[in-house]
């Protein structure tokens, strides 16, 4: 039973510094970042109440507390949050400095888990997001526990993970799994990025009990397995500024739709529209809810028959 609210598990948000160019001069942007932050921002843009569950520590954590910008439930920890500096003055992100997050202690982890469990059960919809690719603030087993405990108590669980974190979350039987074609190939779940090979991977993921498996394919049509049927998702073509964050916005739209009581199909359309809007903007996880809602009616689901 959803309540029109989403809880997002983001164990360790990042402090992000991006250098761009404005009128020929360096232009520095400082934001809260990381998968869960970007997802939370888009969920709120879509008019759905959201709460971000995270651990904050060190100087980076102190700054992040003031930058996150959505409702926050934070556990104060001694572990530092990670940070990065990117130079995008030539139009391409060039990592200058990357500081990984510190791992949480046992007691910090227990407190974060309990806090997330309470918030997610109260919300009715939960998004399990991962930290930065090379960060390991929490063990993979946390994702299995959360997916299991939340699902068993009536919470709709949406996971946007890869690698060991995805494998662990699948053991908990989430409702929705969102993954990119690149992640499926790199994780060894798909032999290639061809549609037939991705379809095989989708069926593997669905065997965990997921009702919906969504595979984003960069500029190509998204592949979705909905209640046993394959679909290709057509979205309006928009100019691309930055492809990073498009998949996170898709996940946010999926979760927002479920929180609003929409069907899996309608939630997928909302997610696809949100992802399409994000790539035409500089800010990750950004986009006007009005624009997203306007595009939803232009999203099409086409049945795809696998001829294996």
One pLDDT digit (tens) per residue for the chain, 308 residues: 345 899 999 999 999 999 999 999 999 999 999 999 999 999 999 999 999 999 999 999 999 999 999 999 999 999 999 999 999 999 888 999 999 999 999 999 999 999 999 999 999 999 999 988 778 999 999 999 999 999 999 999 999 999 999 999 999 999 999 999 999 999 999 999 999 999 999 999 999 889 999 999 887 899 999 989 999 999 877 555 444 557 899 999 999 999 999 999 999 999 999 888 765 544 444 455 678 888 888 999 999 986 65
Is residue 230, in this structure, part of any structural domain at all?
A: yes
For 44, the token pair is: 């709120």
Whole-angstrom Cα distance, residue 159 to residue 151?
Answer: 12
Write down the pLDDT at residue 278: 60
Q: What is the pTM of this model?
A: 0.91
Q: How many domains does the chain have?
A: 1
Is residue 134, in this structure, part of any structural domain at all?
A: yes
How would you class 132 by CB atoms within 10 Å of its CB: exposed for 0-12, middle for 13-18, buried for 19 or more? buried
Q: Count how many residues are written for the chain.
A: 308
Write down the pLDDT at residue 34: 93
Is residue 137, in this structure, part of any structural domain at all?
A: yes
Say if CB 195 and CB 223 are below 8 A apart: yes
pLDDT in tens, 190-239: 999 999 999 999 999 999 889 999 999 887 899 999 989 999 999 877 55
Enclosing domain of residue 98: 5-303
SS3 letters across 5-65: EEEEECCCCEEEEEEEEECCEEEEEEEEECHHHHHHHHHHHCCCEEEEEEEEEHHHHHHHH
Is residue 308, in this structure, part of any structural domain at all?
A: no
For 108, the token pair is: 């910090």
Is residue 17, in this structure, part of any structural domain at all?
A: yes
CATH value at residue 247: 3.40.1190.20
Say if CB 6 and CB 259 are below 8 A apart: yes
């Amino acid at each position: 039973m959803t309540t029109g609210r989403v809880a997002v598990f983001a164990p360790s948000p990042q402090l992000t510094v991006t250098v761009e160019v404005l009128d020929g001069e360096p232009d520095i942007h400082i934001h809260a970042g990381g998968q869960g932050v970007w997802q939370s921002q888009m969920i709120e843009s879509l008019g759905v109440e959201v709460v971000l569950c995270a651990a904050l520590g060190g100087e980076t954590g102190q700054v992040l507390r003031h930058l996150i910008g959505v409702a926050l439930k934070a556990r104060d920890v001694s572990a530092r949050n990670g940070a990065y500096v990117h130079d995008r003055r030539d139009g391409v992100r060039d990592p200058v400095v990357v500081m990984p997050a510190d791992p949480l202690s046992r007691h910090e982890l227990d407190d974060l888990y309990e806090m997330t469990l309470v918030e997610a059960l109260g919300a009715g919809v939960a998004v399990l997001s991962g930290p930065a690719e090379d960060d390991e603030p929490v063990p993979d087993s946390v994702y299995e526990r959360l997916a299991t405990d939340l699902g068993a108590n009536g919470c709709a669980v949406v996971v946007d993970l890869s690698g060991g974190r995805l494998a662990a979350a699948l053991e908990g039987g989430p409702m929705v799994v969102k993954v990119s074609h690149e992640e499926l190939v790199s994780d060894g779940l798909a032999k290639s990025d061809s549609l037939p090979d991705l379809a095989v991977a989708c069926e593997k993921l669905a065997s965990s009990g997921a009702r919906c498996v969504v595979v984003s394919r960069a500029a190509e049509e998204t592949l979705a397995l909905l209640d046993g049927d394959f679909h290709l998702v057509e979205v309006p073509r928009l100019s691309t500024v930055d492809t990073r964050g498009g998949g996170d916005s898709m996940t946010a739209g999926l979760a927002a739709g479920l929180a609003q009581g929409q069907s899996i199909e309608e939630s997928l359309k909302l997610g696809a529209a949100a992802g399409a809007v994000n790539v035409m903007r500089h800010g990750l996880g950004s986009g006007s809810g009005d624009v997203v809602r306007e595009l939803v009616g232009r999203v099409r689901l086409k049945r795809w028959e696998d001829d294996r």
